[in-house]
């Protein structure tokens, strides 16, 4: 089953608007989307699925790489996110389908897709069901390309530790919340990865998909971008027991202790899998 905390809050107009504005103003989602689209080998694709596509940041990167006569389907369960996407990303090759990732096979003909691409969101799904659905709709040789945040996957790029020059913004948020609101942060090192790399590999194999690559990459950004990301309601911290206004007050206080251009690193596990029967 999908994690219970993964789907809450996404079908909200404010979240959708703030999230979409972030993808336009900061490079993280654009850069990760272009990386996934590159790995998906889309130059000759006829049909590509943007899975958990949100407001269309990844669909935009896919459209830049597919042929002019290709079709791109962006699937997401949030009507609010797709409402923003339909308004801001208009392309005759792109169709929007409001449905869950687990329901993918009901909307795509069997063995018809050249690639399925999912940026940042696969951990929110029932991966056993989704991987099986992806296998069902991919043509032989078709690729399934997705990424998982390093913390969720239990991996860390070497640059993430070597680049750090002080406490992370998340650490400062917890310290401010503890100081000003009596918040008790969870003990360090007690949380387990939501979707470990080993689990991903096992479930892909169970679904009949062959892993071509599992790479740990580093996304370089700044403290200012991190603050903007944590301003999106579904990402605001601490997670429980606070109003959004309180979270933003805590975030502002924590950010005031940093320098906007301080470099930050986000680790990603990037996975390329393939339905057997075609060329890698």
The domain segmentation of the chain, as residue ranges, is: 13-154+193-219+266-274
Phi, psi of 140 (to 5 degrees): -55, 130
**In whole angstroms, what separates CA 32 from the centre of its chain?**
9
**In whole angstroms, what separates CA 166 from the centre of its chain?**
26
| CATH superfamily of domain region 13-154+193-219+266-274 | Vaccinia Virus protein VP39 (3.40.50.150)
Question: Given this model, what pLDDT does residue 2 score?
Answer: 39
Question: Given this model, what pLDDT does residue 241 score?
Answer: 87
- Contact in structure between 165 and 262 (CB atoms under 8 Å): yes
Run means of pLDDT, 10 residues per run, the chain, 280 residues: 53 94 94 98 98 97 98 97 96 97 96 97 96 98 97 91 79 95 80 92 98 96 95 90 94 96 93 84
Q: Give the pair of three-digit tokens for residue 96.
A: 């929007």
Q: For the whole model, what pTM was predicted? A: 0.93
Is residue 41 left, alpha or beta, with left meaning phi > 0 and alpha meaning psi from -120 to 50? left
Q: What is the largest CA-CA distance in the chain?
A: 59
Question: Given this model, what pLDDT does residue 279 score?
Answer: 54
Question: Given this model, what pLDDT does residue 163 score?
Answer: 67
Question: Given this model, what pLDDT does residue 239 score?
Answer: 81
CA distances from 273 to 51, 161, 202 (A): 15, 28, 12
Q: What is the CA radius of gyration of the chain?
A: 19
**Closest Cα to residue 212, out of 268, 267, 270, 159?**
270
From CA 140, how far away is CA 17, in angstroms rounded? 38
């Amino acid at each position: 089953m999908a994690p219970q905390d993964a789907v809450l809050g996404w079908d909200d107009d404010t979240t959708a608007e703030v999230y979409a504005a972030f993808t336009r103003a900061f490079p993280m989602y654009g850069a990760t989307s272009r990386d996934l689209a590159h790995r998906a080998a889309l130059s000759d694709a006829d049909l590509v699925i943007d899975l958990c596509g949100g407001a269309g940041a990844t669909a935009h990167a896919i459209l830049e790489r597919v042929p002019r006569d290709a079709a791109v389907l962006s699937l997401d369960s949030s009507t609010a996110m797709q409402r923003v996407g339909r308004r801001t990303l208009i392309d005759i090759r792109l169709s929007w389908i409001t449905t869950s990732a687990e329901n993918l096979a009901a909307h795509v003909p069997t063995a018809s897709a050249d690639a399925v691409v999912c940026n940042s969101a696969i951990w929110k799904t029932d991966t056993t069901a989704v991987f099986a659905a992806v296998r069902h709709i991919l043509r032989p040789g078709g690729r399934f390309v997705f990424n998982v945040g390093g913390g969720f996957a239990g991996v860390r790029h070497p640059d993430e530790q070597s680049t750090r020059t002080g406490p992370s913004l998340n650490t400062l948020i917890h310290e401010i919340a503890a100081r000003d609101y009596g918040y008790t942060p969870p003990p360090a090192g007690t949380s387990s990865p939501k979707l470990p790399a080993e689990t991903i590999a096992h479930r892909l194999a169970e679904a009949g998909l062959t892993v071509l690559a599992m790479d740990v990459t580093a996304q370089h950004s700044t403290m200012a971008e991190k603050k903007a990301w944590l301003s999106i309601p579904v990402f605001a911290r601490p997670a429980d027991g606070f109003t959004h206004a309180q979270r933003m007050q805590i975030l502002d206080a924590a950010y005031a202790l940093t320098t906007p251009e301080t470099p930050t690193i986000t680790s990603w596990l990037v996975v390329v899998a393939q339905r057997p029967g075609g060329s890698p």
